[in-house]
């Protein structure tokens, strides 16, 4: 259970849902974990829930100054889990500019410049793993998810580009593309739509956040030592149907 001992993992959006469960699992397997989020109260609650080996750093990934401050507070990082996300639901004809921009600021720009700042240390040390949490909708059309799906498709493209740039120096980059997952954040934004998407999958249900966290752990850990530039579709068969 200590396969990640001596490693530091940064999980963005780590105070709830997939991020919280990923942080919990990484800590359980020996990593020192830094979780980020915008709410100090939720951060404190997450740290108390997970226990030793975890600390919280407040950060807003849509704000580049906040990203820079996060990098300064993190120090050297061995594992980055880009999980923080904005996921507004709106049909394309109803999408407002502000919501579109905030989605890309968090889901793409924030992740991009966070990795740009942390990757040099990984490259210098000759090891590291970056896991981008994307989405089934990056590959499959879902009405009302246009800005979110486009942002996650952009992150999928970065997975492949970063793998090409970083992997010759020992840093692996992969994606986990979850299907509909039962989290409080998704329920608040999408309501019953998420459950209906789950019922339409070959497995006939939504995922639990802890199930997606297992995929994150696999790609973050030495278990996937010969995998880079790949996407693990943890989507209940959504990519196949």
> 33-72 pLDDT, tens per residue?
999 999 999 999 999 999 989 999 999 999 999 999 999 9
Residue at 3 is within a domain? no
Sign of CA dihedral 116, 62, 84, 200: negative
Domain count along the chain = 1
CA distances from residue 79 to 122, 156, 191, 214, 218 in whole angstroms, order as listed: 9, 18, 32, 15, 12
Q: Which domain covers residue 156, as residue numbers?
A: 8-232
CATH code at position 132:
3.40.50.720
- Rounded Cα distance between 144 and 130, Å, is 29
Instruction: Give the residue among 29, 38, 41 at the shortest CA–CA distance from 69.
Output: 38
On the question of pLDDT at 20 being above 90, the answer is: yes
Band (115; pLDDT cuts 50, 70, 90): very high
- Residue 240 burial by CB count (10 A; 0-12/13-18/19+): exposed, middle or buried? exposed
On the question of pLDDT at 195 being above 90, the answer is: no
Residue at 237 is within a domain? no
On the question of pLDDT at 85 being above 80, the answer is: yes
On the question of pLDDT at 142 being above 90, the answer is: no
Residues carrying an active site annotation: 148
Residue at 82 is within a domain? yes
Residue at 238 is within a domain? no
Q: What's the pLDDT score for residue 187?
A: 66
Residue at 170 is within a domain? yes
Q: What's the pLDDT score for residue 67?
A: 95
Residue at 167 is within a domain? yes
Residue at 55 is within a domain? yes
Residue at 2 is within a domain? no
Q: CA-based Rg of the chain, rounded to a whole angstrom? A: 17
């Amino acid at each position: 259970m200590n396969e990640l001992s001596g490693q530091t993992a940064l999980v963005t959006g780590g105070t709830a849902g997939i991020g919280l469960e990923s942080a919990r699992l990484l800590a359980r397997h020996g990593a020192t974990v830094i979780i980020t989020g915008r709410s100090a109260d939720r951060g404190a609650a997450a740290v108390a829930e997970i226990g030793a080996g975890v600390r919280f750093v407040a950060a807003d990934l849509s704000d580049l100054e906040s990203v820079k401050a996060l990098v300064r507070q993190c120090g050297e990082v061995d594992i980055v889990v880009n999980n923080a996300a904005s996921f507004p639901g709106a049909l394309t004809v109803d999408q407002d500019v502000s919501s579109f921009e905030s989605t890309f600021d968090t889901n793409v720009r924030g992740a991009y410049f966070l990795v740009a700042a942390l990757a040099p240390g990984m490259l210098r040390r000759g090891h590291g793993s970056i896991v981008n949490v994307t989405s089934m909708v990056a590959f499959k059309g879902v009405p009302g998810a246009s800005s979110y799906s486009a942002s996650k498709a952009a992150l999928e493209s970065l997975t492949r580009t970063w793998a090409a740039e970083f992997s010759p120096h020992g840093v692996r980059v992969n994606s986990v593309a979850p299907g509909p997952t039962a989290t409080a954040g998704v329920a608040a934004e999408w309501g019953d739509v998420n459950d209906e998407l789950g019922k339409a999958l070959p497995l006939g249900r939504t995922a639990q956040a802890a199930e997606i966290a297992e995929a994150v752990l696999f790609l973050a850990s030495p278990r996937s030592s010969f995998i880079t530039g790949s996407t693990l579709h943890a989507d209940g068969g959504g990519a196949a149907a």
